[in-house]
Amino acid sequence: MIPNSQETMTSIRPNTPSTATEQAPQRMASGHSVEVDALQAYYGNHQAVKNFSIAFAANEVTAIIGPSGSGKSTVVRCINRMHEEISGARAEGTVMLDKVNVYDPRVDVTAVRRVIGMVFQKPNPFPTMSIFDNVAAGLKLTGWRGDDLRGRVDQSLRGVGLWDEVEDRLNTPGTALSGGQQQRLCIARAIAVEPEVILMDEPCSALDPVATLRIEELIDELKARYTIVIVTHNMQQAARVADTTAFMLDGELIEHGPTTKMFTKPEDERTERYVTGKFG
Amino acid sequence: MQYEVRHNFREALKTLEQQALGGLDIVIRQLDRALEAISYQDVELASMVVADDDQVDGRYLEVHQGVLSLLATQTPVATDLRLVAALLHIIRCIERIGDQCVNMAKLVPLSGHEQPKDKDILDAIERMGRLAHSQLAQSKETFAGRNVDLANDLVRQDAEINQLNRAIFRRAVDIGDEVEMREWAMLMVLVARALERIGDNTVDIAEQVVFVVTGLFRELADASHPVPERTDPAPA
């Protein structure tokens, strides 16, 4: 059934067991699969993504690697329909979140972005907001109507391992945190609305090695509850965090397979040449 | 975007492979001298084989350190990762081959100058020595050329070494009651065993070639499920 706009908010979460959510302190294994089929993405006349098809398995981390300009970021921005926000940009094809095509014209874009959250390259807490309000803002902006805002914020901060570090300064500005803490704050903001999928576009590229490792540990913890897609230039990061890895080149998906296989015996010669640094 | 990067890494990896394969040249020389020392009862030459094992050990340490350095600083992947892993494996094989040459050399003073000898056993030892030399040379060629066909051929050659080893053992058992002859025959059994182990190590190197090329590890010769022993007569 294609949902009407009123039904969209629930229809786009087809299998989330709400009673289990209420009973369990943390949701377990509730991520959903995402299937992208024949995705084409354009910036004006330039085609950035060409006939891209892939299945992101539920509760797995999938890394997308490839040289600059290969279309990695465009793909993830298409998954939660942020690509179309750029002037002159458009996308074709289907992105199925379980049984729902997020490109169905009757699907509410806001609902899509709540269910498919995004973490960006540079930590982007709202500069004028406190730590608490930064997390709460994610809920408010998506029309959350619950009655335990404080509890939800606390839970989100605990979910990213930030609670112990900020519990005594929740009213200080989010920008006062370190870079790594700010990125975890942004992830807390993303998970506060209980998405099914988290997209991460180079989430560690602005962080130091220790903060990077902390985020990578967090990704490993979060995958029990969410389906995660991470774009990264850091191939070792892909090797460390991802269950499967996809290699893109010139807008096309060249190869997608188990990460260990991609980094020990890739099938495609172009993947081999890229991961071994024979071209860049 | 088809420009090549990581030139320094590629050069370092190439150098490391040359160092490892150079280790095979060292043990080939060690093998030849150990066999010569046995043939001519040359105790002095045997002692040189023992002393020169330091060269083999030194090469092992160089390659081992080089592998660690590349893993730590270059994080090789795909074919490069398989090659680095294989180099670590084969340099260990080479070090063990060096040890077997030492084992043979150390038997030379024990066998004395005027020991009785059995021509059948000596001929078999000589044949095993030629095969071991050939297998070592071929394992280097196999690895350098990433030649899977040559790797499989090494298994064929190794089967003959194994047969000769078993034949020498049977001949030694039946050598007679003379104490000195039996002692000498037992020493030759040990020499044969060392040569047989050298052959096994060349097969291990061949398996690493298959791994580097295909990404799959396959035991070319399964020691846990040996082919039933043939009932060939002792060497004539």
pTM assigned to the model: 0.80
Is a pLDDT exceeding 80 seen at residue A21?
A: no
Neighbours of A92 (CB within 10 A): 13
Q: How many CB pairs under 8 A join A and B?
A: 43
Min Cα separation A261/chain B (Å):
8
Least confident piece of the model among A15-24, A117-126, B131-140: A15-24
Using a 10 angstrom Cβ sphere, with 0-12 exposed, 13-18 middle and 19 or more buried, the burial of residue A57 is: middle
Instruction: Output the pLDDT for position B222.
Output: 65
pLDDT tens digits for range B176-202: 888 889 999 999 999 999 999 999 999
Q: Enter the ipTM.
A: 0.72
* Nearest CA-CA distance, residue B76 and chain A, Å: 7
What is d(CA A9, CA A18) in angstroms, rounded to the nearest whole number?
14
Q: What is the mean pLDDT of residues A115-144?
A: 89
Contact A179, A140 (CB under 8 A): no
Mean pLDDT of A158-177: 93
The pLDDT, as a whole number, for residue A15 is 44
The phi, psi pair for B49, rounded to 5°, reads: -60, -45
3-state secondary structure of B3: coil
Q: How confident is the model at residue A139 (pLDDT cuts 50, 70, 90)?
A: confident
What percentage of residues in chain A have a pLDDT greater than 70? 89
Confidence (pLDDT) at B77: 93
- Other beta carbons within 10 angstroms of residue B121's beta carbon come to 24
Question: To the nearest whole angstrom, how far is the Cα of A236 from the nearest Cα of chain B?
Answer: 8
Confidence of residue A31 (pLDDT cuts 50, 70, 90): low
Nearest beta carbon to residue A264 from set B3, B9, B78: B78
pLDDT in the model for residue B141: 97
pLDDT at A67 over 90: yes
What the block records as the tokens of A35 is 């299937």
Does residue A63 belong to the interface with chain B, where contact is any CB pair within 8 Å? no
Residue B225 carries which DSSP code? S
Residues of chain B with pLDDT under 50: 1-2, 230-231, 233-236
Alpha carbon of residue B97 to chain centroid = 4
Count Cα neighbours of B180 within 13 Å in the Cβ-side half-sphere: 7
SS3 at position B153: helix
> Across the beta sheet with A46-56, what order do the strands follow?
A46-56, A34-43, A89-97, A100-101
Tell me, yes or no, if B80 comes closer than 8 A to chain A by beta carbon.
yes
Sign of CA dihedral B107, B113, B118, B119: positive
Share of chain A above pLDDT 90, in %: 70
pLDDT, position A107: 92
* A16 has pLDDT over 80: no
Q: How far apart are CA A101 and CA A82, in angstroms?
A: 15
Q: Cβ B6–A263 below 8 Å, yes or no?
A: no
pLDDT at res. B231: 47
Contact A276 B80 (CB under 8 A): yes
- Distance, in Å, from the CA atom of A80 to the CA atom of A66, rounded to the nearest integer, reads 20
Closest CA to A32 of A195, A159, A256, A218: A195
Give residue A19's pLDDT.
34
DSSP string, B155-213: HHHHHHHHHHHHHHHHHHHTS-S-HHHHHHHHHHHHHHHHHHHHHHHHHHHHHHHHHHH
Q: B78 and A67: CB-CB below 8 Å?
A: no
CB A65, CB A235: distance < 8 Å:
yes
Q: Is residue A28 pLDDT above 50, yes or no?
A: no
Number of CB atoms found within 10 A of residue B168's CB: 28
